[in-house]
């Protein structure tokens, strides 16, 4: 107890106990303070408990840590994914079609037509591109029997025979996922007119190239 408070009004017992507690804490901190190192000693002075602990640890032989597999570990998955993509897409056309660094790649908002082995070609607006290596897929939104339909297509799937860009969006979309097109006021609806115009233009170009080849053969025959 602090004797400096004797003869004075204590005021409150709690204040006296607080002073006593602080004084005990200060004495305890002085008693447990580390002793300064002497100039001739190389190790600091240890307490009996610390010395006993070091003696116990000295009885055990500590071996160095063994090298783990992760020390020189190289992830084989990127090489495996690239090998699978090379096997499924030898020419690299589909990889370039949905690559981020290609200027002529397909972007959200474009109209695509996907041809498969199991059914008729499906055409719709490209809403989302999910890039997952071999599992890269695209989400198209179109219409079937006047009903809006969304369908996922795996880009590297063997069942997908062709992916064609029917129409390109004039201005780049400001979003990576055009989910707002599911609302009635933003729904593009049927894209059959764009598909018909694309097929007509394609047939015209083929016929012109074919006729040019025939004329060239006739001219060669004259000479």
Q: What is the pLDDT of residue 108?
A: 93
Q: Across residues 25-34, what is the average pLDDT?
A: 52
Q: What is the pLDDT of residue 110?
A: 94
**Both structure tokens of 177:** 């996922």
Top mean pLDDT of 18-22, 154-158, 185-189 is at 154-158
The yes or no reply on domain 79-203 and CATH 2.30.30.790 is yes
Starting at the earlier edge strand, list the strands of the sheet with 137-144: 147-154, 137-144, 122-130, 111-116, 160-167
Q: Is the pLDDT of residue 21 over 60?
A: yes
| Alpha helices in 32-76, H assignment, sequence order | 48-58
What confidence category does residue 33 fall into, taking pLDDT thresholds of 50, 70 and 90? very low
How far from the centroid of its chain's Cα atoms is residue 180's Cα? 23
Spatial CB neighbours of 27, under 8 Å, sequence gap ≥ 6: none
Q: Which of 25-39, 53-67, 124-138, 176-190 has the lowest mean pLDDT?
A: 25-39
Q: Is the pLDDT of residue 112 over 90?
A: yes
How far from the centroid of its chain's Cα atoms is residue 157's Cα? 22
Q: What is the pLDDT of residues 164-192, one digit of tens each?
A: 999 999 988 888 899 999 999 999 889 99
**Both structure tokens of 24:** 């005990």
How far from the centroid of its chain's Cα atoms is residue 19's Cα? 59
Q: Across residues 100-117, what is the average pLDDT?
A: 92
Q: What is the pLDDT of residue 64?
A: 82
């Amino acid at each position: 107890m602090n004797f400096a408070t004797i003869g004075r009004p204590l005021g409150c017992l709690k204040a006296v106990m607080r002073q006593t507690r602080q004084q005990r804490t200060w004495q305890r901190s002085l008693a447990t303070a580390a002793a300064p190192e002497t100039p001739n000693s190389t190790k600091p002075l240890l307490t009996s408990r610390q010395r006993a602990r070091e003696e116990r640890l000295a009885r055990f032989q500590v071996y160095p840590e063994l090298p783990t597999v992760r020390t020189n570990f190289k992830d084989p998955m990127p090489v495996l994914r690239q090998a699978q993509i090379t096997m499924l897409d030898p020419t690299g056309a589909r990889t370039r079609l949905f690559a981020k660094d290609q200027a002529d790649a397909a972007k959200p908002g474009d109209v695509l037509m996907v041809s498969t082995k199991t059914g008729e070609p499906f055409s719709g607006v490209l809403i989302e591109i999910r890039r997952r290596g071999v599992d890269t897929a695209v989400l198209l939104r179109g219409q079937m029997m006047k009903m809006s339909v969304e369908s996922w297509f795996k880009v590297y799937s063997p069942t997908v025979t062709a992916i064609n860009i029917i129409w390109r969006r004039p201005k780049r979309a400001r979003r990576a996922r055009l989910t707002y097109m599911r609302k009635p006021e933003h729904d593009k609806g049927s894209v059959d007119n764009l598909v018909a115009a694309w097929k007509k233009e394609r047939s015209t170009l083929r016929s012109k190239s074919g006729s040019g080849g025939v004329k060239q053969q006739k001219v060669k025959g004259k000479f």
